[in-house]
A and B are shown apart, each in its own frame.
Chain A
Amino acid sequence: MRAVLALAPRLRSAGGADTRTTTALAVLAFAVSTALTLSVVGGLLGFMGRAAAPRNAFEEANAGGYVVLAWVALVLLVVPLLTLGGAAARLGVSRRDARLATLRLLGVTPREVIALTVTETAAQGLVGAVVGVVLYGVLLPVWTLVPFMGGHFTVGELWVGVPVLGVAVVAVPLLAAVSGAVSLRRVVVSPLGVARRHTPRRLGVVRLLVALAGVGLFMVVSLALHALGPAALAFLVGALAIAFSTLNVVGPWLLGVFGRVLLWRARTPARLLAARRLLDDPRAAWRVVGGLGLAGFVAGCLAVLPVMSTGSEAGADEQIFTADLVTGGLLTLVIAFVLAAVSAGIAQAASVLDRRREHALQHLAGVPTELWRAVRRHEVLGPLLFVGVGSALTALVMLSPLIGFAGIEDPRGLALLAGCLTGGVLLVLAATETTRPLARRVLAEPVVRPD
C-alpha cells in the first residue's frame, strides 16, 4: 500500500499540462463551492442573529420569517453546491481514469487504487477549501452592500466564525475524497469498463413517477396549508425541498427523452454529435444544467412576487418584506447561475480533455475545428433552454394553487423571468466558451499521444 501511495505525486506530474489544468479547475470549483456555501451560511447566521436580538419592531415581528426563508435558500442551493463539488472531484480523477485502470490491470488492488484517488482528490479539496475561505473573506464586504430589512448587514453579522471555517476546511476534503472514490468505482469494479466505453443503460421511467409524486406532494401541502396550523411553514419548506430534490431525479430522464428527440431531428454533423453526447450520458448533462434548473425554478417563483407585492393596502413593513423576498430570490438566483456557469465550464474542460485523442485524430483527418465549437454550443444550449424554461414552468404550475394563474399574467413578473433566464443562459454559454483555448491547445499538438 505504501509503495502505491508513493506513486501519487508521480502520477500527478506524469500528466503534464493536462493534469495541471484539471487540478487547477478542480481546485477552483472546490473554492467556489466553499466560498458560496460559507456566504449562504453567513446570511443564515445573520438573519438568526437578528431574530435572536431584534433591533426594532419590524425585526421583532418578521425576523423569524426571514430565518425560514434563509433556510429555504440554503435548501435550494445545497444540491447545486454539492453537484459542483462532485463535478470537481470527478474532474480531478478523470485524467487518471485510464492510468489507474492500467494500474488495476497490472495488479494493484482496488483498495490501493481507492487510496491513491482519495489522497489526491482530498489534497485538491483541501487547497480548494483554503482558497474558498479566503474568497469568502473577500466576498464578505460585497454581501454587506445587499439591502435587507430596510438596512444592511455588517461584516460581523455575516461572519460565520472560526469553528465553521474549520469545519469547512475539514469537510470539503472529506467530501471530495468520498466523491472521488465513488467516481472511480467503475475502475475498481471493472478495469476494462473505462477503457471500452460501453453504451450506458437507459434511465427508467420510474424517475418520472418519483418527480410527479414530489411535485404533487408540494401542491397538496400548499392547498392544505390552512389546515396545518402553526406547522404550515415547516411543512411547506419540507415539501419544497422534497419537490426540488425529485427534480434532480427526473432531470436526467427528461434530458434523455429530449436527447432522443434531438437525435431524431438532427440533420447536421454538429447536431447529430450533440444529440448523441446528450443521449450517451444524460446524467452528466444534468450535472451541468441542473444548477440552471434550480435557477429557473427560483425564477419561476420570483415571477409571481411582483403580483403579490402590489396589494393596494400593503403597509411599509409589508413592502420591505416583499422587496426583501425579491432581493433574496434574486441573490439565490445569481448564486445558482454562478454555480451553473462554473459547473458548465468544468464539465466542458473535462470533456475536451477526455476526448483529446479522438478530436486530435479527427483534426488530422480534416474534420474542421469549427465542428467541435458548434457541437459544444448545441450540447450546452439545447439542454440549457430545455431545463431552464422547463423548470420555470414547473415552478409556475407548482405555485398555481397559492397564487392562481392570474399571477403570471403580470408583465413585470414574466419580464423578470425572461430576463433572468436569458442572463443565466448567456452566463453559462460564456463559461463553456472559456474552454476554447484549451481545445485549441489540444488540437494544436501535432503528435497524438496514446492514453
Chain B
Amino acid sequence: MDHDTAPAVTPTPHVAPSSAGLHARGLVRRFGTTTALAGVDVDLAPGRSLAVTGPSGSGKSTLLHCLAGILVPDSGTVTLDGRELSSLDEKGRSLVRRSHFGFVFQLGQLLPELPAVENVALPAMLLGAKRPAALETARGWLASLGLAGMEDRRPGELSGGQAQRVAVARALVAGPSVVFADEPTGALDQATGTDVMRVLTEATRAAGAALVVVTHDRAVAGWCGRRIEMRDGQVVGNVAQREDGPR
C-alpha cells in the first residue's frame, strides 16, 4: 500500500455469528517450552472496562497482545464484534489495530519529531483523513483532555502525565472499539497516575469504547468495571468492581 495516499479501508475479516464486543475463547500461547497462556477466556462488551492484573510472568501482557491481534495464539479464537481476528494475516491484523483499536503504552509511543497535535492526528491521517480535518479533530481531543495551548509542544517538552494524556487522545482520535492500555501509569508517580487513569477511563467511556488495562497495580485496576487476576497463564479470579458501561 502506498502511504502517500493512505486510503480509508475498513477491514473485512470473516464474520462469525457472535455477540458484539471483544471475546476470546480458549487462548493458548507458548514461547518455546514456556506456556504463557493456558486456555484463557475473556468477554468484553462494548463500552465496558476490564483490568488484567497478576505478577510478572503471569501472562497478562501476552493476553493483551493476543486480544489486540499483535500476537497470534497457538490455539483459541479472538473475535471483535463477531469477526475473527486470529485468522487474519499480519497486514490484516495491523489494519484492524489501527482502525478498530487504540493503544496507550507505558511511555515512548509518541513520535519525538512531531508536536502533540500531529502525534494525535497521525492515526486519523493513516486512515485517510485530510490533514486539516485530522488536526482539527486532534485539537478538539487535546482541549477536551485539558491540554489546550500545548498543541505545538514536542513530547520531550511535556511532563509524563501530559504525554500520557496526549497518548490517550491519540488512542481515541480514530474512534476505536477497544482501547488497550499496557501499564499506562508505570512511569508516573502515584498522583499523576491517578489523574491519567481518571482521564483514560472517562474519555474512553465517553467515546463509547471498551477498555482493557494491563497493570500490576491494584489501585490502577480499581478504575475498571471488572478485574481478572492471572497466574501461570490462567485466569484465577474474575471480580466485578464498579458500575461500568457506555454513557
Q: Is the CB of A365 within 8 A of B65?
A: no
B-contacting residues of A (Cβ < 8 Å)? 196-199, 266-273, 276-277, 280, 357-358, 361-371, 374, 446, 448, 450
Determine the chain A residues whose CB is within 8 A of the CB of B105 once the complex forms.
361, 364, 448
Q: Among A269, A276, A277, A357, which residue has its beta carbon within 8 angstroms of that of B126?
A: A269
Q: Is the CB of A272 within 8 A of B71?
A: no
Q: Is the CB of A358 within 8 A of B125?
A: no
Asked whether A272 and B118 contact (CB < 8 A) given A366-B95, A366-B98, A450-B108, the answer is yes
Q: Among B3, B118, B155, which residue has its beta carbon within 8 angstroms of that of A370?
A: B3
In the complex, which residues 110-162 of chain B have their Cβ closer than 8 Å to any Cβ of chain A? Answer: 110-114, 118, 122-123, 125-126, 130-131, 154-157
A195 and B71 alpha carbons, distance in the complex (Å): 30
Query: B99: CB under 8 A from chain A?
Result: yes
Q: Among A196, A267, A277, which residue has its beta carbon within 8 angstroms of that of B130?
A: A267
Query: B5: CB under 8 A from chain A?
Result: yes
Q: Is the CB of B122 within 8 A of A269?
A: yes
A-contacting residues of B (Cβ < 8 Å)? 1-6, 65, 68, 70-71, 91, 94-99, 101-103, 105-114, 118, 122-123, 125-126, 130-131, 154-157
Q: Is the CB of A270 within 8 A of B4?
A: yes
Give, as a whole number of angstroms, the nearest-CB distance from A191 to chain B: 14
A266 and B130 alpha carbons, distance in the complex (Å): 11
Asked whether A199 and B154 contact (CB < 8 A) given A267-B131, A273-B113, A368-B94, the answer is yes
Count of CB-CB pairs between chains A and B under 8 Å: 103
Select from chain B the residue with minimum beta-carbon distance to A269.
Answer: B125
30 sampled A-B residue pairs with Cβ under 8 A: A197-B112, A197-B154, A197-B155, A198-B156, A199-B156, A199-B157, A267-B130, A268-B6, A269-B3, A272-B114, A272-B125, A272-B131, A273-B111, A276-B113, A277-B113, A358-B112, A361-B103, A362-B111, A364-B65, A364-B97, A365-B97, A365-B109, A365-B123, A366-B103, A367-B122, A367-B123, A368-B91, A374-B4, A446-B70, A448-B105
Q: Is the CB of B156 within 8 A of A197?
A: yes
Q: Is the CB of B156 within 8 A of A361?
A: no
Select from chain B the residue with minimum beta-carbon distance to A281.
Answer: B113
A283 and B102 alpha carbons, distance in the complex (Å): 35
Asked whether A446 and B65 contact (CB < 8 A) given A362-B109, A364-B103, A366-B97, the answer is yes
Q: Is the CB of B156 within 8 A of A196?
A: yes
Select from chain B the residue with minimum beta-carbon distance to A280.
Answer: B113
Asked whether A368 and B126 contact (CB < 8 A) given A196-B156, A361-B105, A446-B71, the answer is yes
Determine the chain A residues whose CB is within 8 A of the CB of B113 once the complex forms.
273, 276-277, 280
A366-B96, A368-B98 known, 13 other contacts, Cβ within 8 Å: A269-B126, A358-B110, A361-B103, A362-B109, A362-B111, A364-B70, A365-B103, A366-B95, A368-B1, A368-B94, A370-B3, A371-B126, A446-B65
A448 and B110 alpha carbons, distance in the complex (Å): 14
Give, as a whole number of angstroms, the nearest-CB distance from A447 to chain B: 9
Q: Which 4 A-B pairs have the closest CB atoms?
A: A366-B97, A366-B98, A197-B156, A196-B156
Select from chain B the residue with minimum beta-carbon distance to A263.
Answer: B118
Q: Is the CB of A276 within 8 A of B94?
A: no
